[in-house]
Amino acid sequence: MAQDNSPKERQKQQLKRKQARRASYDRILIVCEGSKTEPNYFREIRSAYRLHTANVAVRPSEAGTAPLRVVQYARQLFENGDPNRNTQKRAFEHVYAVFDRDDHVSYHDALNLALSLDRKLRNDAKQPVHFRAIASVPSFELWLLLHFEDIQAPIHRDEVMRRLKLHIPGYDKGEGNAFAVTRNFLEVAARRAARLAQRFNAHTDPEPFTAIVELVNLLTNLRG
């Protein structure tokens, strides 16, 4: 029998080959508000734990840094993919939109949109997708500061940066070694973030909170 060489059949075979190259654990799409700091941090974790790039995609938002734009872009990237960056459409079990509270006016709208999308989208295996907002109040750097200090009261993002630089001299947004210089204190930071989560959540700003720990725990245990 002649082999079926139709475009549809070729596409099916390509998908099978890509799935064979993929690791067996869940596929995760991470879309970040920042263009350097947060993407670099998660890429560091991906490298340190030898996670497959086909399973853990890390992308900065290309639709702006407003939280609502980050969530909207994460949905768009999941649904449509990006062939220019080798991101297949609907090729994930988890989608995470990472953003800060700061003074963003669309912050709560972004939280609500992410919640409305959770388990409402379907991936290429027809499974419901976990869609989560990973918010930090006031900023991503709170998560880094928790590696060194137990923050339990509201704190301005400028004060977070000032105190973080006392522990990491020369720290600046965009640095590419944030995970390396904090890794030894990861368990301490996770415990502190968990205690904050028992008292506060992403909606109770200005109280300090960060969901970064949720995503870090997921990534560091993927191969377990």
68 close to 135: Cβ distance less than 8 angstroms: no
208 close to 151: Cβ distance less than 8 angstroms: yes
Is residue 17 a part of any domain in this protein? no
Q: What's this model's pTM, rounded to 2 decimal places?
A: 0.88
More confident residue, 35 or 133: 133
Average pLDDT over residues 106-124: 98
What is the per-residue pLDDT across 62-90, written as a single tens digit (0 to 9) for each? 999 999 999 999 999 999 999 988 899 99
Is residue 14 a part of any domain in this protein? no
Is residue 78 a part of any domain in this protein? yes
Residue 144 has pLDDT above 80, yes or no: yes
Whole-number Å distance between alpha carbons of 155 and 7: 57
**What pLDDT was estimated at residue 5?**
63
In 10 A of CB 202, how many CB atoms?
A: 22
Q: What is the largest CA-CA distance in the chain?
A: 72
Is residue 94 a part of any domain in this protein? yes
Structural domain span for residue 206: 25-220
Model confidence band, residue 224 (pLDDT cutoffs 50, 70, 90): low
Is residue 58 a part of any domain in this protein? yes
- Cα distances (Å, whole numbers) of residue 106 to 38, 71, 101: 20, 11, 9
Strands of 37-129 (E only): list them.
56-60, 94-100
What is the per-residue pLDDT across 182-222, written as a single tens digit (0 to 9) for each? 999 999 999 999 999 999 999 999 999 999 999 999 999 98
Is residue 20 a part of any domain in this protein? no
Is residue 117 a part of any domain in this protein? yes
Q: How much is the mean pLDDT over the chain?
A: 91
Amino acid letter, 103: D
Q: How many domains does the chain have?
A: 1
